[in-house]
A and B are shown apart, each in its own frame.
Chain A
Amino acid sequence: KNQVEQSPQSLIILEGKNCTLQCNYTVSPFSNLRWYKQDTGRGPVSLTIMTFSENTKSNGRYTATLDADTKQSSLHITASQLSDSASYICVVSNDYKLSFGAGTTVTVRA
């Protein structure tokens, strides 16, 4: 069964600090992995997308890594801002269908 597991479920960080979110998956065959940011009550917005051959990709203060051998990905947020408070969802594709993780809720406090 294709599964995507994210950790932690939630975290609280102080403004200006860094944090790292984890994503482990068992989706096969693997096509690509995306990280989405979802603000409360809004639709998800794509942050990064990585294919098998890519092991890192950045979008501003967001840096995603991918280890296709261990089937793990991380999303690193640098110098967090209050606007980073959101749910971050890891989505893995097997060419036909997307498998969504449950998300990590990040709360940034001043």
Chain B
Amino acid sequence: DTEVTQTPKHLVMGMTNKKSLKCEQHMGHRAMYWYKQKAKKPPELMFVYSYEKLSINESVPSRFSPECPNSSLLNLHLHALQPEDSALYLCASSQGTGGKNIQYFGAGTRLSVL
């Protein structure tokens, strides 16, 4: 099973809402990632978790708050987002965090902020 599952597939929220994106993998991977992808652009790394601890935060605004409850789950809590935050949010996982590790991506959550 090389599947990374993301929910929901689509999300529409207002700028005052609080919502969460969820990501799950059962491959025993110890590294998990959040990426943001705008249309026709490559994914941009947001956060990296290694062994359930946040190891990289790519200067992401505090309105995005990641959480790793256990080794299989990764959440991204959203609050007071801006319309420019509308994008495809991708979760990925890999065995480790080194560049030699293949990242497996989920199908993404399409987020629209009104």
A interface residues (Cβ-Cβ under 8 A, vs B)? 31-32, 34, 36, 41-46, 49, 89, 93-98, 100-103, 105
Q: Tell whether B74 is near chain A: CB-to-CB under 8 Å.
A: no
Interface centre among B40, B43, B102, B107 (most CB of A within 10 A): B43
Nearest CB in chain A: distance from B65 CB, A:
22
Interface size on B, residues (CB 8 A): 21
Q: Which residues of A contact B92 (CB under 8 A)?
A: 43
Nearest CB in chain B: distance from A59 CB, A:
13
The answer to whether A42 touches B99, judged by C-beta atoms less than 8 angstroms apart, is: no
Given contacts A98-B45, A100-B42, A100-B43, are A41 and B108 in contact (CB under 8 A)? yes
B interface residues (Cβ-Cβ under 8 A, vs A)? 4, 6, 40-43, 45, 88, 90, 92, 98-100, 102-108, 110
The answer to whether B42 touches A101, judged by C-beta atoms less than 8 angstroms apart, is: yes
Q: B92's closest neighbor in chain A, by CB?
A: A43
Q: A10's closest neighbor in chain B, by CB?
A: B40
**Which 6 pairs, one residue from A and one from B, show the smallest C-beta to C-beta distance?**
A93-B99, A43-B105, A100-B42, A95-B99, A31-B99, A44-B105
Q: Which residues of B contact A41 (CB under 8 A)?
A: 88, 107-108, 110
The answer to whether A45 touches B100, judged by C-beta atoms less than 8 angstroms apart, is: no
How far is A51 from B100 in the complex, measured between Cα atoms in Å? 9
